Amino acid sequence: MLNRRQALLSTLFGTGYVGLRALATGLPAAFLLNPRRALAANPAPACGAAAKAQYFVFNTLGSGDPINANVPGLYDDPKITHSADPSMAPTPLKLRGQTFTAAAPWAQLPQPVLDRTTFWHLMTNTPVHPKEPDVLKLMGGTYGGEMLPSLLAKAMAPCLRTIQTQPLTLGATSPAEGLSYNGAALPIIPALALKATLTNPAGPLSDLQGLRDKTLGQLYDLYKNGATPAQRTYIDSLVSSQTQVRNINQSLLDALTSIKDNSADSQMLAAVTLIQMKVTPVISVHIPFGGDNHRDIGLAAETAQTVSGVATIASLMAQLTKAGLADQVTFATLNVFGRTLGPSNTDGRQHNENHQVSIAIGKPFAGGVIGAVGPVAKDYGALPLDSQTGKGTAGGDVSALETLPSFGRTLLSAVGVDKTTLDAEIIGGKVIGAALV
């Protein structure tokens, strides 16, 4: 148990638990690792996109959940099958002043959340569950086979000054939902394991104030004799007071002790806590929305999990607002595939490689619908996109196959990644400006 706890602490806080000292002092981890070198170079972070930087709570689903069946853009064709349960009734909602129809749970999100919610109709081009890692790599659309969450993390870490660059996985339910970084698989950290490690009486949050004072004491000589007045001013602007550290400590403990299980709601609590600790820019979670539902009689599981899934998103947004993080965190989803939409399987839904819906909710995004569905083969699939308007149309200049890399490009562009970097990271696709504020 001790070895497992130490391994987890090392994963969260780096070599020598430098992240804990960063949390306790307010000083960047990179500065604490080598203060003299940091001062000699430049204490400011190397980031050209600081104003747009975002943390990401990234929902990835290898189960192929039917999110795509109940969102705006799916209620114009009467042949598309929906749950008949009253809790899923077609309901009008507004996205930045435009009226759409969706299942009732989506309409219950607060209007300020809807105004920064973008629904993407896209194609993953696979009906195979274990292909989720390939979908996260945009189906061959990233150079070096890097996953989209890792590309986001690499871009955001210098801006946010997080303890580590690598994403963290909280909610993976299968190996297919695990993340990789530079080709190496990343560990999965369940919410309960996070709680057990960090709230232990002898755990790392037990004496943040003492750790703060000890670390600052070790830096005192460098501060007094090795830093210029401008550098001392910079350091002073970052250092947290004892009162701030006490409040941080209590806030984190309160959040962590309320974790009861590894459910989606607990994952949201853990994710917000990790963001407050500035551990990583990207946290992967699993919020179920109906699962692998081939024998879902009456679409009962789809109904129950869509209701609870949207409620979990609403809870996350409320927690972020309470923590003062609403403008600093984006929620995004990417599913291995969507589900069939026509009436061919009334006891559930089959795999649909031609249509999947991703969602982005955050300050950089303009509320609306990108793309559309139309008849494809014996069911429905994503249409090509008009890159200027974001509308789905048969004559769009972004093919259905390019909608996936276009989603990746647009997410990265939203947080300030420039075109040169985008072209070096992602193959194909276009930035869809209509999705952005």
pTM over 0.85: yes
Residue percentage of the chain with pLDDT more than 70: 97
Residue 1: the pLDDT is 46
For the stretch 251-275, pLDDT in tens is 888 889 999 999 999 999 999 999 9
- pLDDT averaged over every residue in the chain: 92
- pLDDT for 44: 53
CA distance linking residue 113 with residue 360, whole number of Å: 11
Q: Coil, helix or strand for 252?
A: helix
Distance of alpha carbon 231 from alpha carbon 38, whole angstroms: 10
CA distance 356 to 379: 13
Residue 154 near residue 417, CB atoms below 8 Å: no
User: Which residues are CB-neighbours of 224 under 8 A, at least 6 positions away?
Assistant: none
d(CA 169, CA 178): 7
Q: Side chain identity at 276, as an amino acid letter? A: Q
Q: What gap in Å lies between CA 125 and CA 269, rounded to an integer? A: 33
Q: Over the stretch 379-437, which tens digit does the pLDDT of each residue have?
A: 999 999 999 999 999 999 999 999 999 999 999 999 999 999 999 999 999 999 999 99
Domains of the chain (ranges, CATH numbers): 1-43+192-261 (no CATH), 51-190+270-435 (3.40.720)
